[in-house]
Amino acid sequence: MLLPKKVQHRKWQKGRKRQKGVATRTNRVVFGEFGIKSEEHGWISSRQIEAARRVLTHFLKRNGKVWIRIFPDRPVTKKGNEVPMGGGKGSPDHYVAVVKPGTVIFEIAGMEESVAKEAIKLTGYKLSVLTKFVKKI
């Protein structure tokens, strides 16, 4: 699973899950030929990223190359079960990547478009946001 080696702040404030706007930075396929793009706001956990990566590499059978374009750097805290009210914020439980509409999540190269479409479709099932298949322009 992906997680940061070092963080500036151990616990973050929650913020808003439904933000405004679309992705302006990672919104194009840059490294590969095909990609999977988010269509909605959301958090993608490091477990989901790893599950999607495993589906992609299994489907490609070591042919082609895979790039992961997002990184889970946002800590999510959780308090233990049956902990009474008060007592402060819980400890960091897992890490998530914040995704806006238009963010390219994975890129792949080295295969035909039909094979890539099927691989991306299977990968999308493992993610918690709606996704679509995109090609390099």
* Residues 32-65: tens digit of each pLDDT: 999 999 999 999 999 999 999 999 999 988 889 9
Classified by CATH at the fold level, domain 34-76+93-135 comes out as: Aldehyde Oxidoreductase; domain 3 (3.90.1170)
Alpha helices, DSSP H, located in 5-135: 46-60, 113-124
Instruction: Please give the Cα distance from 46 to 97 (Å, whole number).
Output: 8
pLDDT band (50, 70, 90) for residue 137: confident
| Mean pLDDT computed over 61-75 | 93
Give the pLDDT of residue 19: 76
Does 17 have pLDDT greater than 80? no
Global confidence as pTM? 0.92
DSSP state letter for 92: E
Query: Two tokens at 95?
Result: 């890490």
Give the pLDDT of residue 4: 92
Contacts of 67 (CB under 8 A, 6+ apart): 31, 32, 106, 107, 108
